[in-house]
Amino acid sequence: MFKKILIANRGEIAKRIILACHELGISAVAIYSEPDADMPWVRLADEAYPLNGATAAETYLNQEAIFRIARTAEVEAIHPGYGFLSENPGFAAACAEHNLLFIGPDARVIQLMGSKAEARALALQCGVPVVPGLDSAGMEDAELAAAAGEIGFPLLIKASAGGGGKGMRVVQTPAEFEEALPLARREALSSFGDGHILVERYLSEIHHVEIQILGDKQGNILHLFERDCSIQRRHQKIIEESPSPLVTEPLRARMAEAAVRLAQVAGYENAGTVEFIVDGAGEFYFLEMNTRLQVEHPVTEMISGLDLCAWQIRIAAGEVLPFRPEDITRRGYALECRVYAEDPARDFLPSTGTLATYRTPSGPGVRVDDGVESGSVVTPYYDPMLAKVITWGQDRPEAIRKMARALRDTVVLGVTTNIPYLLAILEDPQFQAGNTTTNFIQERMAGWEPEIAIDEDVQVAAAVFEALLGGGKRAIAQDKTAEGAEAPANPWNDLPTWRNVQSG
């Protein structure tokens, strides 16, 4: 097992990896940008090293700086988390050149599966269903437009590299196609450095369902069931759940078998996710593969009882998966909501500022993965996700009820969040019935407004008042000032001693 690992990431995923390292007896090394210097996950690490600058390019994408710190800290491996460098084959290859183990698949597999075009070709080779479409490689725009018309509209234009909706356009007519194609190419080139485009038939009433896999270095690959990630805004997931309310046992078996077969042919190892779309008729089609830990991995952990982050590290260290597919059982239902510092009523505009008060929910079946605390500053430099709230129940209704309670118990003052928006989704009859296609946000939440708008100044004032009360309580516990002078008269000192738990 490793003795020391560097986490090349930030926020809640950095904290999550640090905790996994500590549970395995491994020292965790954090890196941090200038805006992140006071974040709680930095203090949680055994060692922490600064990155000069604030932007992602200056810091968490700065490979030279990361490798310099890795040498200084004398780490054996690097965990990339998700985002940033996690699916960068060049970074994975560079780790090997620096005698560091990259916790994830090797660079060849990241390159192969990171290209939607190559991954699609591999899926076809494996007999895994794909959406009817074509690859633009070697085709002029006019030739591509003619071929696209034969597929039939509406069509989806999407970048072969990257994700998150960048370089993606839905077009309804040939004229729209001709207008959108160069825009999609330019966006793909600017976002991913690759203008390679795919064109596919656009399926509107679909569910986004993904299969979690684990593979060791000995070629053993197993699946850990599915997650439904259909509740999305701008192609970004905001609510995930497992099991999917759509998937039947026969469909689950077929999708899982296809995911494992694809991973085996690719020579995949470590954690990964094979993403599919499922239509109303129950037919599924390969979408892409994410060669990393997913944001929504806690959902699978809750229903499987396995620590995916720890198993990433154990597999990278050479451990063999000790269980067979039939040993993995699914228990109950799990739900995850992503809490963002953003305003859904203002086109999801990110909200920056200081978290004057931040309190998380608790209770049976409630988990919170976060990387902030009261006093943390939400900056414009990084993704505005503050936390992931995860709940578990014996059935889906129980998981939803627990989530609604947990979100209401979550306190975030100082910035606007999407918590009221998430609650509105949970309370929607269509969501509760499991009718959650990828069009849900567009169809059910258009024009949403919070029931009660609270002015930010009021929120901050309430937070300041609470902080003052907390400060007063701390002052009351002190009999002397730092200089040794008598503390101000305190009426609480005149009360008799009282405890809420009596001895015996």
pLDDT higher than 90, residue 203: no
Instruction: List where CATH 3.40.50.20 sits in the chain.
Output: 4-103
Average pLDDT over the chain reads 90
Question: Angle 174-231-376 (CA atoms, 0-180°, nearest 5)?
Answer: 115
pLDDT band at 166 (very low <50, low <70, confident <90, very high): confident
Instruction: List where CATH 3.30.470.20 sits in the chain.
Output: 206-444
pLDDT higher than 60, residue 97: yes
pLDDT higher than 60, residue 477: no
More confident residue, 367 or 132: 367
Torsion-angle region of residue 264: left (phi > 0), alpha (psi -120 to 50) or beta? Answer: alpha
Tens digit of each residue's pLDDT (9 = 90 or more) over 318-334 = 999 999 888 999 999 99
Count of beta carbons in the 10 Å neighbourhood of residue 47: 16
pLDDT band at 467 (very low <50, low <70, confident <90, very high): low
pLDDT band at 281 (very low <50, low <70, confident <90, very high): confident
Strands 27-32 and 4-7: parallel
Q: How far apart are CA 23 and CA 3, in angstroms?
A: 12
SS3 of residue 118 by DSSP: helix
| CATH (one of 3.40.50.720, 3.20.20.60, 3.40.50.1820, 3.30.1490.20) for 132-201 | 3.30.1490.20
CATH topology of domain 206-444: D-amino Acid Aminotransferase; Chain A, domain 1 (3.30.470)
The answer to which of 186-190, 368-372, 381-385, 485-489 has the lowest mean pLDDT is 485-489
pLDDT higher than 70, residue 494: no
Per-residue model confidence (pLDDT) at position 504 = 42
Distance set, CA 252 to CA 243, 246, 284, 409 (Å): 10, 10, 10, 34
pLDDT band at 384 (very low <50, low <70, confident <90, very high): very high
Per-residue model confidence (pLDDT) at position 141 = 85
pLDDT higher than 90, residue 297: yes
Long-range contacts from 246-249, C-beta under 8 angstroms, 24+ separation? 246/207, 246/209, 246/278, 246/434, 246/436, 247/209, 247/278, 248/282
Average pLDDT over residues 107-118: 93
Share of the chain above pLDDT 70, in %: 89
DSSP H/E element including 366: strand 366-370
Quickly tell me which residue has 């700065």 as its tokens.
62
Q: Supply φ then ψ for residue 337, to 5 degrees.
A: -120, 135
More confident residue, 117 or 414: 414
Instruction: List where CATH 3.30.1490.20 sits in the chain.
Output: 132-201
> Of the listed 185, 227, 252, 292, which one is catalytic?
292
Q: How far apart are CA 22 and CA 86, in angstroms?
A: 21
Average pLDDT over residues 146-164: 85
Share of the chain above pLDDT 90, in %: 75
Per-residue model confidence (pLDDT) at position 478 = 33
Tokens coding 17: 């990896």
Per-residue model confidence (pLDDT) at position 472 = 40
The answer to which of 64-73, 152-161, 289-298 has the lowest mean pLDDT is 152-161
Q: How far apart are CA 326 and CA 261, in angstroms?
A: 17
Please answer whether residues 18 and 47 qualify as being in contact, where contact means their C-beta atoms are separated by less than 8 angstroms. no
pLDDT higher than 70, residue 481: no
Say if residue 12 is exposed, middle or buried (CB neighbours under 10 Å; 0-12, 13-18, 19+): buried
- Is position 169 annotated as part of the catalytic site? no
Structural class in CATH, domain 4-103: alpha beta
64: CB partners within 8 A, 6+ apart = none
pLDDT higher than 70, residue 68: yes
Average pLDDT over residues 112-137: 91
How far is Cα of residue 192 from the mean position of the Cα atoms in its chain?
Answer: 19
Say if residue 30 is exposed, middle or buried (CB neighbours under 10 Å; 0-12, 13-18, 19+): buried
Per-residue model confidence (pLDDT) at position 502 = 37
pLDDT higher than 60, residue 317: yes
Torsion-angle region of residue 56: left (phi > 0), alpha (psi -120 to 50) or beta? Answer: alpha
Tokens coding 284: 């599924």
Tokens coding 250: 């026969």
Strands 221-233 and 236-242: antiparallel
Average pLDDT over residues 336-344: 98
pLDDT higher than 80, residue 486: no
Please answer whether residues 12 and 18 qualify as being in contact, where contact means their C-beta atoms are separated by less than 8 angstroms. no
Strands (E), 216-269: 221-233, 236-242
Query: Which amino acid appears at position 470 of this protein?
Result: G
Per-residue model confidence (pLDDT) at position 492 = 38
Count of beta carbons in the 10 Å neighbourhood of residue 176: 16
